[in-house]
Amino acid sequence: MGIGIAQVSAQNAKTNVLVLDADERQLEKGLKFIASNLEKAVVKGKLSATERDETLGRIKTTTDIADFAQTDFVIEAVSENPSLKRELFLNLDKITKPSAILSSNTSSISITKIAAATTRAEKVIGMHFMNPVPVMQLVEIIPGLATSQETLKVTLDLAKKMGKITTESADVPGFIANRVLMPYINEAVYVLQEGIATKEDIDTTMKLGTNVPMGPLTLADFIGLDTCLAIMKVLHSQLGDTKYRPSPLLVKYVDAGWLGKKSGRGFYEYPAKK
């Protein structure tokens, strides 16, 4: 997600971007991924070679969070873990200049709670990008309880420069997209768990019967079953309704390390490319 956000920021918004990751190899892999995406666009005639080179020139990488000291706008895209996000925002609050806006790409966690870890709650906001970021048009914008109108305006303007269409959600668990999507996926897992249908028939029924691009179990594999489970846990714990209880089969798959496409196996298997 972070690499995709970096690409649209550098390519469409034409801003200088600094990408942080603890693993230098992940950063190198990410840059290669962006370069590959841009090269495909050049081949298809959607981008000039000059634009490709200019985009890549706007992207720098670092493994040191201290390098964010002069950053104007931060978009966090770490794992969907409340403690991890709060700790990161606590550090960002200390490192970045007071005028910097701190945004989270969280898909379910309270922006107000994240903002409480900082001394600038008025400058904290949610930007929920959809994956893959360079392809998907939507960004959900989520103001927290204390988010200022100026922060909201700057964020909306940045998303527009990135070429995105925005929707605005109240700061409630799951926001709009995952409040609807994750229970749908979770119920599909229950249907599989209860032996009502095979995974293929579940996906085919929903794909052809409701005209969605892919079935719920395939989509879960693409999202990551660990991410789906994390969001369902947030919905269940924060809303307190048993209808959000994660499917035991979903829990079992995550415990087994079957996380979807990224691990090579989820509801379906994904052989490694040779």
pLDDT surpassing 90 at residue 131: no
Q: Helix %, strand %, coil % for the chain, to 5?
A: 55, 15, 35
Q: In what order do the strands lie in the sheet with 101-104?
A: 73-76, 101-104, 124-129, 138-143, 165-168
> How many residues in the chain?
274
- The residue annotated as part of the active site, out of 104, 107, 110, 247, is 107
> One of 104, 105, 108, 178 is an active-site residue; which one?
178
Going from the C-alpha of 32 to that of each of 3, 117, 207, the distances in angstroms are 10, 34, 33
**DSSP letter, residue 214:** S
Please give the domain boundaries of the chain with CATH numbers for all domains. 1-168 (3.40.50.720), 178-263 (1.10.1040.10)
Q: pLDDT-based confidence at 273, cuts 50/70/90?
A: confident
Q: Confirm whether 236 is a catalytic residue.
A: no
Q: Quick: pLDDT tens for 11-54.
A: 999 999 999 999 999 999 999 999 999 999 999 999 999 999 99
Catalytic choice (105, 140, 186, 247): 140
| Catalytic pick among 103, 128, 186, 247 | 128
Is 107 designated active site? yes
**Would you call 178 a catalytic residue per the annotation?**
yes
The residue written with tokens 């870890």 in the block is 117
Inform me whether the pLDDT recorded for 178 exceeds 80: yes
Active site residue 104: no
